[in-house]
Structure 1
Amino acid sequence: MNLNAIVALIFSLLGVGCRSPANPQAHHNNSVLRDGSSYSSAILISSRTQVDGIREEYTYLAQHFPGSRPAEVEKIETEEVIFGHRTDVRNGRIFSIHILVLSDGKIREVYFDITGYFGK
């Protein structure tokens, strides 16, 4: 099973698209707006295990982006580029970045700081 299929399965299990529309709500932490729109405003994941952390990410996505779905594989010139999810390290922090296709067709990246659970 490829990564996109796994992500799609998780979205379907969490009921993405079945909830009523809602605007993404920002989280505040140390006077920083945590809306997930960039590295500096990444949603802080409080879970301490990988299983719980991943569940927390997908629960957030399902609650704040109803009707969205992960983006898919696209071929750009001669390379296949996977859109949907990536993990990145920046300034000693580990980030999970989800690339979504919103219900209106727009693309949105959502950043989570997963330093607290990554690899645990």
Structure 2
Amino acid sequence: MVNANFYSSKYDDFDIQPILDNDRIMLSYTKCFLDQGPCTPDAKDFKKVIPEALETTCGKCTPKQRKLIKQVIQAIMDKHPEAWKQLIQKYDPENKRKEDFDKFLSENK
């Protein structure tokens, strides 16, 4: 799924609008990422790269992927803050990446 510089462009044109517009779908992705529910094939692919993407602040993400990720994260933060807290607890329990990730989220706003 990963080449030397970027994650696969397979999802660069992924239509995230249905996820953003549907809380049930958004929460099903979130539950997958938290190991609290089943994962669709797409969600499994995304889940595999979460630790590295967080570690590198999306260093291997294409510009399109960075934009998509920011939109999804912002939607989760806005609509489901409790789920966002759980994701932080799972993937960054010591808040080591918080400052870098906050900068990433605020880029090009």
In the superposition, the TM-score normalised over structure 2's length comes to 0.27
- The structure in which a higher percent of residues are strand is 1
In the superposition, the TM-score normalised over structure 1's length comes to 0.26
